[in-house]
Amino acid sequence: MTMQELEQAEKSMQQQWHALVMAEQQGEPLETLEQMYDSYILLAEEYNRYSAQYGNEQQLAQCGRGNAPVARGSKKQKSFLAREKERDSIKLAS
């Protein structure tokens, strides 16, 4: 699982949600909206699976380098992609 695949899954999920919102605003029939919502839920589940798989792969890679896995606390966590993007955008001071 790559970060690109995870980002694509997130993008697909967001596009489906946007399409659903637009269809509702345009007065599409309830049956159509329900089908679109079902598609959104499937995409969300796929994203969640990809995210978990990517996280597991990253954790295994860290353990393979001798790093201990990070314990998860009970406080609210940022979304996985938000943490990854934040981590990638941090610049070291010179």
The identity of residue 62, as a single letter, is Q
Residues 6+ apart with CB under 8 A from 1: 50, 53, 54, 57
Q: Give per-10-residue mean pLDDT for the chain (94 aa).
A: 91 97 97 97 96 91 67 56 63 48
Look at the pTM and tell me if it is higher than 0.85.
no
Q: State the Cα–Cα distance between residues 77 and 74, nearest whole angstrom.
A: 8
Residues 6+ apart with CB under 8 A from 50: 1, 5, 6, 9
Sequence spans of domains, the chain: 3-86
